[in-house]
Chains A and B, each alone.
Chain A
Amino acid sequence: MGDRRIVCFCLDVTVEDLAEAVREGFDHPELLKRFTAVLMGPCQGKLCAPNVLRILAELTGQPEEALDVPTLRPPVRPIPIGLLAAGGEP
């Protein structure tokens, strides 16, 4: 089972999961994100992004600054659909 320390609280992704993903070839931050779902949960990376990138840098033997960082998109926090639907016809 390997290193079961939790890196991503939203989706229970462990250090071993990240290592396994990189071993299989998901070594670009965007690929890692899509395969393990890190940065895609409710926190959208606020809690885990620095740790994920640090671990990815270690696993791929690169400095952290050399990594492409996954795209950050709106909304910064989840926004109720009903709120955005206010005003105007569909």
Chain B
Amino acid sequence: MTAPTDARRRGVRLDLPDSRRVSIRYDGRHLPAFEGEPLAAALYAAGVRIFNRSLKYHRPRGLFCNAGYCPNCLVRVDGTPHVRACTEPVRDRMEVESESGWPSARFDLLAVLDQLGFLFPTGFQYRYFTRPRWLYHRWEWLLRRLAGHGRLGVDPPSPAQRSSLTADVAVVGGGPAGMAAALAAARAGACVLLFEAESALGGGLRTEPRPVRAPALYDGLPGVELVARLATEIERHPAISCHRRALAFGYYADGRLGVAGPGTFLSVHAERIIVATGSYERPMVFDGCDRPGVFLASGVRRMLHLWRIRPGAAAVVVTTSDYGLAVALDLLNAGVTVRAVADTRDWTSREPDEARRLRQSGVTVLPGHAVLSVAGRRSIRAAILALTGPADRATAWKVPCDHLVVSGEFWPANELVFHAAYRGSHVLRAEAHPMRPQIEREGLRAVGPVHIAGNAAGVGDLVKALLEGTIAGLSAGIALRGATPGAAWELEDAVRALAAIHEASHGR
């Protein structure tokens, strides 16, 4: 399948959303879009590649995580600053402006600051202008204007609604672990609230097209179908109240959860909380790792499967695990030319299935390689790959591409557990660290009434997530409503299955 090098001319949409066509304005230009799709998708499809300029050096930044946790896609929408374009749904006649950069993010005269980095080492503000004072005041005046990017619209935003909710169990996160937990807690007789920050349930499974290994009924289904089945069960369940686009932003000392959604603020009190918030993907640190065109692998999956958008025409993938190999296959299936896949692991004896399939499709696969740097400033033109270990520029290989997909480690998104565990001492000693919570094997309790399951409890696979969700949900339900024979037996079964998995992985 041939691929023209200009992704823009080719058109990056894989297929068109089936919602209404609308028009939005971006930095004064009218752009076509589809109602309800992520704003970042509409902008990307219309050719926007530089979304933002970094705060200090005004470096161009493009889409990166596509999941609302990096700072790259912040734009001003209808008078509200710092809106994450990747999670904001398009509305007709939306007014969007780039926030940083002068005159705009796309063309920024202050980009020269990147060349003057030596003048602004970290902590520079404490070394400069200690005297005379009047000069410091002038300098501070300038600093304020260079730094503060958020412009607030004058009109008041639409009024919001506040409500209080109570339940036996609040599950935060509607991915596999969260869905399993909600259903399990309900089976154990609890009244359940489920909060999912995105517009649909499923978490990581929403971007998993391959058949998944899942216990009991769902083995062999593609991830998206498994999600659909579980979501339907949840919708139908009388004891589960499911709230989408509801982000639990804090767990507080009085046992309350603060939850925010568009136009809604919920103050939630539940006897037990199950944190199933998944994980974040860790960027790789290399020269140019922040350039437009460098994407997190999970971000590319979201673009392909949820937004139905191709990141570009020619990709290079660098990975530390099978996840990146799977994303490389996804790119191939979407018609992207995958020029090379570098795997930092040096698997000489055991080639992963995905790597074999990539090779059989004609992709160059390089075990034991990593990315050294990228070429290009406003967008990347090539990735420079080299053997891992001491950087050997002699064997470095420059691979032309228009996007680089990096798949580093995932790490738990367990801030809420931290909130619960923090006892308010000035320094949290390493031993008691809630980012590495001591999780009880039974019930998966991290601290107090807070359970944890899935990737938030430690990154693992789908089977682990489903089992942990089930264990946490059943334990919470049983603790509150008493143990019915069915629930107790199911819990025992799940605990045994999880223990078997732990043993198997330690034995390896």
Contact = CB atoms under 8 A, between A and B. Distances in A.
Direct contact between the two chains A and B in their complex (CB within 8 A): yes
A45 to B, nearest CB: 9
Given A74-B252, A84-B265, 17 more contacts: A4-B117, A5-B286, A11-B54, A12-B54, A14-B122, A24-B123, A41-B71, A42-B74, A43-B69, A47-B280, A71-B418, A72-B418, A77-B69, A77-B247, A80-B260, A82-B160, A86-B159
Given A42-B71, A69-B435, A87-B161, A47 B428 contact: no
Given A9-B71, A12-B54, A68-B427, A77 B249 contact: yes
A20 B127 CA distance: 14
A78 B74 CA distance: 12
Given A77-B68, A82-B157, A9 B61 contact: yes
Nearest to B250: A74
A68 B430 contact: yes
25 contacts: A5-B286, A9-B70, A11-B55, A13-B122, A14-B122, A15-B285, A20-B123, A37-B122, A41-B55, A43-B71, A46-B69, A47-B71, A69-B428, A69-B433, A69-B435, A71-B428, A72-B418, A72-B419, A72-B422, A72-B435, A75-B258, A80-B157, A82-B160, A83-B264, A86-B265
A80 B422 contact: no
Nearest to B54: A12
B220 to A, nearest CB: 34
Contacts of B64: 9
Contact of A35 (B122, B162, B248, B283): B122
A46 B70 contact: yes
A51 B265 contact: no
A84 to B, nearest CB: 6
Contacts of B430: 65-69
B121 interface: yes
Contacts of B104: none
A9 B290 CA distance: 7
Interface of B: 54-57, 59, 61, 64-65, 68-72, 74, 80, 82, 117-118, 121-123, 156-157, 159-162, 247-252, 258, 260, 263-265, 280, 282-283, 285-287, 289-290, 409, 411, 413, 415-416, 418-419, 422, 427-430, 433, 435-436
Interface string A34-64: 0111000111001110110001000000000
Given A5-B287, A12-B56, A65-B436, A50 B282 contact: yes
A51 B161 contact: no
A35 to B, nearest CB: 6
A38 B55 CA distance: 13
A1 to B, nearest CB: 5
A74 B249 contact: yes
Given A12-B57, A43-B69, A47-B283, A36 B249 contact: no
B260 A79 contact: yes
Q: Chain A interface: which size bin?
A: 35 or more
A76 B248 contact: yes
A51 B263 CA distance: 35
A46 B55 contact: no
Residue among B122, B162, B260, B433 with the highest chain A CB neighbour number at 10 A: B122
A67 B118 CA distance: 30
Nearest to B433: A69
Q: Which of B61, B70, B251, B286 has the most CB of A within 10 A?
A: B70
Contact of B117 (A1, A21, A51, A85): A1
A55 B418 CA distance: 22
